[in-house]
Structure 1
Amino acid sequence: MGTSTSSRGPGTNSPLVPPWADSDSQAPLPEPEPQRFRGFRTKLGQFVSDGDRDDLRSALGRYARTATGGRTVGPRRFGAMARSGGALFDAMAALRDGRDPGVPGIDLATLNGRDTDLVIEALVDALLPPNGDADRIRVAMLEALSEALEGMEEFDSNNITDDIIVDMMLAYVTQCIYEQIVLDSRDAFAKAAAAGRVEQAEKAMRELVRSAADKHMAPLLAGNVRTLNGRMVEAVQLRAIADIWAEWEAYDQ
């Protein structure tokens, strides 16, 4: 898991949605509110310092409502990540079915029997897009594949199941949201009052994000995996993120 110490994060005058990331580039964007990150970062810093879960919920409420522009704007920030998630879904569904995934440099015949960690790295390298979210997409794909394929020491496409693909997508969306929050938090994680508090705070926040992903995205995938393709899964991710933002907007009102 990353921490905010790796980046200064966006400033108040940065766009709500960078052009490469926008899931709806034809729709206008509102002007960002002045000091839109202040309340979110303050509350998150308090949570990191004292561990009070109410402060975390308050931070996420301010993040959804103000820092990211609300449920109609904030999820648009995840357009590039959702497209990559759709490409990841297509590749893994093809491997599950014994088909060539159509990814340059990836040949099903050479994957089976290889060390799973090496296969994961090869898949991620082949799928990674050249845009401003590439670093976070890479981390999210590595996390998602590692979690979903845990225990598979040698890669075997015959062991890829629908449940593995669902778990992979839930882990991917969780990590995308988590990493974006961390990036936007700037120095909030530097507010820890005691050793170990940063790690505890990161774990608690990631668990809350995963719980929200399970609640809002799992029902959209369960029982439907074989009827979906990457473009449909792209839309599923964005719908789930919008539902998560709607839930978080109600926090601390």
Structure 2
Amino acid sequence: MGTSSSSSGPKSGVSFDPPWLNSVASELGSPLEKISGEQSSQNPRQIESVNLPLGIAPPGRFGSARRYLGNYAETGDKSSLRKALGSYSRKGMGGASNVAGRMKASTSAGAGLFNFLQGIRNSSDTKVRDWVNQLSAKNLSAYEIADEIINQIISIGGSQEEESCKDSMNQAISELLTIQPDIDLLAMDNDSIWTVMELFIANEAFNRLNFDIGQLFESAKYSSREVVSRMNDMKEYLKSEISAQIQELRKDISNPSTNELNKLLQSALTRTFEIFEDDQ
């Protein structure tokens, strides 16, 4: 399912964003200070919080989204999937900007990962270079290096958002290693870092949807083979749409600050779910 535990999904009559979300998102800023010893308040690339209007979720918020998703699970019909995603966004979440806002921890973590991958490649800070050299000297596998990188960004975890981000980062870097098996994760070029961003945000959107409306995939009426096939197709569809938006937005910003990238990822999610809403 992409996350480690099942859920009945969020309820109606509550805020679209839980009260602790801003706190989690703010803790997932740029991680380079952990190594360099700089104070985050002195860092001009520090994550800027994304604040969106709060709202109360309506009754039966995900009913039609789950119905369309059920049709997709049974038939594999992509139009049913698009309608499920559009209904999830428009009715279930109160609009595409709310979907993006609900994923502010994801975009903060993604911006932090981007900043960190660029930082360990480019940094002139002695402590950062020492960290990279010590890691290189251990003769670790690429997957072990990936774990070390992710642990710098999400060192403790525990919340649903943090565990999901860890899972999505692992998946994104694993997919990159499948595409580029010889890549040096400590010296990645910008195109490879952008690829990781696209894969990470797509994985996060997939996890979010599964947590909110994906419980039907756990039904005994579907075979394991059907479930895996449908979920893989769903993830690939999300990846295609989100990647297209990120690639379009990054044309105007070659080397974004962490704040700029956070806003870019928020915009990419908003635009993606606006497209899904157009199918309603």
User: 5 Å matches for 1:101-116?
Assistant: 107-112=131-136, 113-116=139-142
Give the unaligned 5+ runs of structure 2: 23-48
SS in 2 for 1:6: coil
1:141 aligns with 2:165: no
User: Aligned AA for 2:85?
Assistant: L
Contact (CA 8 Å) 1:117, 1:146: kept in 2 or not?
yes
1:164 aligns with 2:192: yes
User: 5 Å matches for 1:175-186?
Assistant: 175-186=203-214
User: 5 Å matches for 1:24-103?
Assistant: 24-25=50-51, 27-97=52-122, 99=124
Contact (CA 8 Å) 2:245, 2:268: kept in 1 or not?
yes
**CA deviation map 1:22-76 (0-9, x unaligned):** 5544x44222111101111121122112211121111111011111111232211
Runs of 4+ in 1 over 3 A off after TM superposition: 22-25, 98-103, 129-132, 149-156, 190-195, 222-225
Distance 1:4 1:69, change over 3 A: farther
User: 5 Å matches for 1:187-198?
Assistant: 187-191=215-219, 192-198=221-227
SS in 1 for 2:96: coil
SS in 2 for 1:189: helix
1:183 and 1:154 map into 2 onto residues whose CA distance is: 32
User: Aligned AA for 1:62?
Assistant: S
Give the TM-score of the pair, scaled to structure 1: 0.87
Aligned to 2:153: 127
Moved more, 46-55 or 12-21: 12-21
Determine what percentage of the aligned residue pairs are the same residue: 23
Moved more, 170-179 or 13-22: 13-22
Q: In the alignment, which of 201, 214, 217 is matched to residue 246 of structure 2?
A: 217
Q: CA deviation at 1:153?
A: 5.9
Give the unaligned 5+ runs of structure 1: none
Q: CA deviation at 1:9?
A: 2.3
1:246 aligns with 2:271: no
User: Aligned AA for 1:108?
Assistant: V
1:7 aligns with 2:2: no
Contact (CA 8 Å) 2:14, 2:56: kept in 1 or not?
no
